[in-house]
Amino acid sequence: MGPREDSPGTAPAIACRGLCRIYDLGGQKLQALRNVTFEVKHGEFVAIMGPSGSGKSTLANLLGALDKPTSGDLAIDGFSIAGMKDDALARLRNRDIGIVSP
């Protein structure tokens, strides 16, 4: 796993800084997320809401460590996912991440 951004216990549960996700669709670029920045502290509950096509599923895939951002940084419990290998991401998903959807 990558280095912690803060000392253990002080890092936010989720820290997104300037997240962007661009999909290449046969030579066309589709920007699904643009400069998303927020933090979620341990013990907080959040909801992601918005109209169809606003990037909710893309953001959920990033937060679930199922995909990686095109640019920006995503840290889960102080660990940046950017340089994580697949086995480390699988351990992170198993240990720390749960997604509930309707």
Domain ranges, ordered by start, for the chain: 14-96
Supply the pLDDT for residue 82.
85
For Cα atoms 26, 19, 48, give the angle at the middle one, nearest 5 degrees: 100
Q: Provide the CATH topology of domain 14-96.
A: Rossmann fold (3.40.50)
Phi, psi dihedral angles at 26 (to 5 degrees): 60, 45
Q: What is the pTM of this model?
A: 0.82
- Sign (positive or negative) of CA dihedral 43, 87, 36, 30: negative
List pLDDT tens digits, range 8-60.
Answer: 568 899 999 999 999 999 999 999 999 999 999 999 988 899 999 999 999 99
